[in-house]
Amino acid sequence: MTPTRHGHHYRLKIGLLGGSFNPAHTGHLHVARQAMRHLGLDQLWLMVSPGNPLKPTGGMAPLAERLASARRLADGRRIIATDIESRLGTRYTIDTMRELKLRFPRARFVWLMGADNLIQLPRWGCWLGITRAMPMLVVPRPGFTRRALASQAAQRHQKYRLAARSGLCLPWQAPPAWILLPVRENPVSATELRRRILEGARP
């Protein structure tokens, strides 16, 4: 985890994009590439969740199937699909964050979160602990971004929001610290993809 660069100890900068990936789609890849570029990340992990406590389990494909769909998007070198949450035995974001920091103490992690999840964040377990565990990159989502910026979580952490141009600094910031990724919203969603597959349309 700690290669050397120019003779100095070099810390890997790793973005974490957690989700159901039910299935993984081009929208996820779009976000991954934009985040890597904006934050100067070395790697981005697509963390396929064993199960989101806030999401219904009906219509959820098996973990192996969802992981396979994420691996088809990943290149296995800089963008990596992983079921690490399942192997860690964590279900809640705060527990996952703590375990990753323990196991990879020299990595600089940034947590990626869709604008829709920023709205829901106060419903998550230990949500204030989440904002203090890792710096965060909030990803625009159609129909949610404006509401997200007016949400309880955003308002409470307004003074910790950095300008978008500070992206390269974000992995080194002590949390709480967050940035709204300045990209065009990607309209692709897994829900729409599943609907079109069921109707026989091409994804």
Q: What is the pLDDT of residues 11-45, one digit of tens each?
A: 999 999 999 999 999 889 989 999 999 999 999 99
Q: Which residues of 68-78 are buried (b: 16+ CB within 10 A; e: fewer)?
A: bbbbebbeeee
pLDDT of residue 1: 42
For residue 169, what are the CA distances in angstroms to 25, 40, 75, 108, 160? 29, 9, 25, 11, 13
**Across 55-64, 146-155, 186-195, least confident range:** 186-195
110: left (phi over 0), alpha (psi -120 to 50) or beta: beta
What is the percent of the chain with per-residue pLDDT over 90, rounded to a whole number? 74
Q: What is the pLDDT of residues 83-93, one digit of tens each?
A: 999 999 998 99
- CA-nearest of 195, 136, 102 to 18 is 136
Position 8 confidence tier, pLDDT thresholds 50, 70, 90:
very low
pLDDT of residue 202: 46
**Across 139-148, 157-166, 168-177, least confident range:** 139-148
End-to-end CA gap in the chain: 37
Q: What is the pLDDT of residues 145-160, one digit of tens each?
A: 999 999 999 999 999 9
List the Cα angle 117/129/42 in 5-degree steps: 70
What average pLDDT does range 42-68 have in this prediction?
Answer: 87
Mean pLDDT of all residues belonging to the chain: 88
**Across 6-15, 45-54, 80-89, 121-130, least confident range:** 6-15
Specify the DSSP class assigned to residue 157. T
pLDDT of residue 6: 42
> Residue with structure tokens 């997200």?
148
CB 160 within 8 A of CB 178: yes
Helix and strand element counts for the chain (H, E): 9, 8
> Residue with structure tokens 């971004």?
145
pTM above 0.95, yes or no: no
pLDDT of residue 97: 98
Is the pLDDT at 142 greater than 90? The verdict is no
List the Cα angle 126/137/30 in 5-degree steps: 125
Question: What's the burial of 115, exposed, middle or buried (CB within 10 Å: 0-12/13-18/19+)?
Answer: buried
- CA-nearest of 197, 198, 201, 193 to 21 is 193
Position 178 confidence tier, pLDDT thresholds 50, 70, 90:
very high
